[in-house]
Structure 1
Amino acid sequence: MSDGTPGTPSIFEWMGGQAALDRLTEVFYGHVHKDPVLAPVFAGAPAEHPHHVAVWLAEVFGGPADYTASHGGHDHMAARHLGRGITEEQRRRWIALLMDSADEVGLAEDPEFRAVFAYYIEWGTRMALLYSGPNPPPVEGTGSHVPQWGWNQTPPWQPKP
């Protein structure tokens, strides 16, 4: 997805495609597993977890819809967070480590890209907090549509009553 301007790459393309996201999540989860705040949360995560997160992020930022095709889209991602009881401290630490990892792997540093990237990470972690909490919104039937982030736009989110 681009902003509709001919020749404007999607966020996915701008950041370097799937290879860049795989590199980002490998470095990031390497840090997560050593972090005293986050390591317990991800102690039982399978070895392919970093790649699954990279595939999710690819779809979010306008890349191929492989997460939806292989894992069930938004419903699946939301369900992965149910009952996990993520804390605000863990959410903030996740963001800090991911942003540091983006610097470490050399993702684009221009303000426009980083603003879109940071906006999604902030929004996404708040959704994870919501779904992991005591009164999550319904997951089943919310649709498999993965939210898409692009230049100058974000998707509206409306919880089901």
Structure 2
Amino acid sequence: MRPTLYDFAGGEPAFLALAAAHHERCLADPELNHPFSHPGQNPRHVERLAWYWGEVMGGPPRFSAECADHSAMLRMHAGNGDMSDLGRRFVDCFVRAADDAELPADPEFRAALRSYMEWAVAEVLTYPGPAEEVPADLAVPRWSWNGLQTLY
């Protein structure tokens, strides 16, 4: 049986490294810098991001248990209007952050990561209006080697 993407990546340390590397890349990007450098940002943002991505990729439900559900994540990113170029830049930073974090270079693994992030960005972009438009109580989706496994 094939391991989850979470286990294949190296578990929690790998996702913490990925989230930290991604955050650094976004801060360094002239367009993504603004949303990633807000003074009111949760000081545990990188850790929570690692928990969220880890849960999505088959890891423990730590984000759901300790933070919020998928609806909360979507609401946090809703209401920003058209952000299609930011979405592309976000995906590019994510792909490069996987290198920075020294995640496995296995082509299937990297393709699964990219396809997840492209899907995730597209989903976030479906809520350009107010946060109230995001449905309530959406569970964190699950992603595998074959793509989306569970949606809410």
2:143 is aligned to 149
**TM-score normalised by L of structure 2:** 0.88
Alignment deviations for residues 97-127 of structure 1 (CA, whole Å, 9 cap, x no partner): 1111111221111121111111110000111
**Among 3, 17, 21, which residue is 2:15 paired with?**
21
2:123 is aligned to 127
* Native 8 Å contact 2:115 2:147 kept in 1: no
Letter in 1 for 2:146: N
Alignment deviations for residues 32-60 of structure 1 (CA, whole Å, 9 cap, x no partner): 11211101122212332111111100100
Query: What is the deviation of 1:63?
Result: 0.3
Answer yes or no: is 1:55 the counterpart of 2:51.
yes
The alignment-based identity, stated in percent, is: 29
* Native 8 Å contact 1:68 1:144 kept in 2: no
Query: Structure 2 stretches of 5 or more lacking a match?
Result: none
Question: Which structure has the bigger radius of gyration?
Answer: 1
Answer yes or no: is 1:38 the counterpart of 2:32.
yes
Moved segments of 4+, more than 2 Å = 134-141, 155-158
Query: What is the deviation of 1:157?
Result: 5.4
Equivalent pairs, count: 150
Determine which structure has the larger strand proportion and give its number. Answer: 2
Answer yes or no: is 1:99 the counterpart of 2:98.
no
Query: Structure 1 stretches of 5 or more lacking a match?
Result: none
